[in-house]
Amino acid sequence: MEASTVYYTDFRCPVGTSLTDKLRRLCIAAGIKNIDMEGRFVAIKMHFGELGNLAYLRPNYAKVVADLCKEQGGMPFLTDCNTLYPGSRKNALEHLTCAQLNGFWPMTTGCQVIIADGLRGTDEVEVPVPNGEYCKTAKIGRAIMDADIFISLSHFKGHESSGFGGCLKNIGMGCGSRAGKMEQHNAGKPQVDPSPCVGCGMCTRICAHDAITITDKKAHIDHDKCVGCGRCIGVCPTDAIGCGYDESNIVLNRKIAEYTKAVVDGRPCFHISLVIDVSPNCDCHAENDVPIVPNVGMFASFDPIALDQACVDAVNAAPVNPDSLLRDAHERHHIDDAHDHFHAAHPDTNWQSALEHGEKLGLGTREYELIKI
């Protein structure tokens, strides 16, 4: 496979030029206007930030992308799926409130916000994974699959499980319903924590396999009957049912690549990543630590694999920020010259596994030509 093209611009802004101007020019140079959007629904997948986290992308960037789509006759909407863990985005009402509190609503973004997997995170579509080794189908939020065109707008940062969170993480994990997220994170099946369980029986009513019973006002899951669909997690009102988060980080990354393949396969897609406020952990945290490197720039491509590779290469070429977790890791492990910032920050991770598997699946290539505009 020949090298893909990745377009890049830095964050320097001479007087009279704004970052939103530069993002617009980047998207146009990378070819977003070559997509026929006339009369089509356009899903713009991004992360709205957990409450308390301030590293997420500002809504101003989303508006640039939404406006470009509308100029081309498209009908864009911002979207994400509910989280698996209890937080401020585990159902659509809380998720929308979180998005609005963080600045995402039509006045600021120029388009509506839709939570793709519905009220409880159970509105999903099972999508085939071509050549999937770990997942034959992927459980994707319905609104994302209902869209005609898919655009990812990602904040590129570190991640404690996948090494970094970029384009593939935003798509593969982010587009999974709550059950889809469980499938990626978990090697086993849901577990019941008896302490918060009130025996309401909602899980028994949603289970299609009669795997859940209520005894002494507590739910019990028969793992011999359970197929691991995860729908009980979505309906539990007290967050008593969860997954074990026991999948290895390498397999997790490969599942993320397979879910990404399911989302993008067979329709027009475009991908944008901003390497800014590169916090060491995911934006799902209710806090954000000092960025591990200085701000790098904005990247765009039709190839999600090449895009992630270009972003990680740019971060690894950047100097380490003082007083950051990465600097602490260097001092703790006596590292003088690290060429892999993400592995240094989180030694138990292997970010290469996602890109290698994605390349194997035909998502794209790690070989790229970087064009600065």
- Give pLDDT tens digits for 281-290: 999 999 999 9
Q: For residue 118, what are the contacts with CB-CB under 8 A and spacing of at least 6?
A: 92, 141, 142
- Co-location of 269 and 365 in the same domain: yes
User: Would you state the pLDDT for residue 227?
Assistant: 77
Per-residue pLDDT, 107 = 95
Going by C-beta distance under 8 Å and a sequence separation of 6 or more, which residues neighbour residue 368?
A: 3, 4, 5, 6, 301, 303, 306, 309, 310
At residue 86, the pLDDT reads 80
State whether 8 and 136 are in the same domain: yes
Asked if pLDDT for residue 233 goes beyond 90, the answer is: no
| 327 shares a domain with 280 | yes
Mean of the per-residue pLDDT values of the chain = 94
* Per-residue pLDDT at 199: 97
CATH code of the domain in which 234 resides: 3.30.70.20
Please say if the pLDDT value at position 177 is more than 70.
yes
Structure tokens of 16? 């009279």
Across the range 134-150, mean pLDDT stands at 97
| Residues 166 and 132 reside in one and the same domain | yes
Look up the CATH number of the domain holding residue 123: 3.40.50
Say yes or no: 204 and 300 in one domain. Answer: no
Q: Which residue has the higher pLDDT, 62 or 186?
A: 62
Q: What confidence category does residue 228 fall into, taking pLDDT thresholds of 50, 70 and 90?
A: confident
pLDDT at 289: 95
Both 350 and 203 in a single domain?
Answer: no
* pLDDT for res 339: 82
pLDDT of residue 336: 60
Residues 174 and 322 in one domain: yes
Question: From the CB of residue 117, how many other CB atoms can be counted at a distance below 10 Å?
Answer: 31
Confidence category of residue 332, pLDDT binned at 50, 70, 90: confident
Instruction: Give the C-alpha separation, 157 to 297, whole Å.
Output: 12
Same-domain status, 224 and 293: no
C-alpha dist (Å) from residue 126 to 81, 131, 142:
15, 15, 9
> Over the Cα atoms of the chain, what is R_g?
20
For residue 198, give its domain range. 191-242
Q: Is 106 in the same domain as 172?
A: yes
Which whole number is the average pLDDT over 216-245? 87
* Mean pLDDT within 319-330: 91
Please report how the helices 178-185 and 249-264 are oriented relative to each other, as an axis angle in degrees rounded to 10.
140
pLDDT in tens, 335-363: 665 689 999 999 889 999 999 999 999 99
Are residue 237 and residue 131 in the same domain, yes or no?
Answer: no
Residues 328 and 234 grouped into a single domain: no
**Closest by Cα among 30, 263, 239, 34 to 135:** 263
The number of folded domains in the chain is 2
Q: In this predicted model, what pLDDT tens digit does every residue of 73-85 receive, in sequence order?
A: 999 999 999 998 8
Q: For 36-45, 164-173, 182-191, 362-371, which range has the lowest pLDDT when averaged over its residues?
A: 182-191
Max CA pair span of the chain: 69
pLDDT at residue 338 in the model = 65
Looking at the structure, tell me whether residues 286 and 238 fall in a common domain.
no
More confident call, 213 vs 329: 213
Q: Look at the chain and count its residues.
A: 373
**Mean pLDDT value of segment 57-85:** 97
Q: What percent of the chain has pLDDT over 70?
A: 99
Q: Where are the beta strands (DSSP E) in 84-238?
A: 112-115, 124-128, 137-141, 149-155, 157-159, 163-165, 191-192, 212-215, 218-221
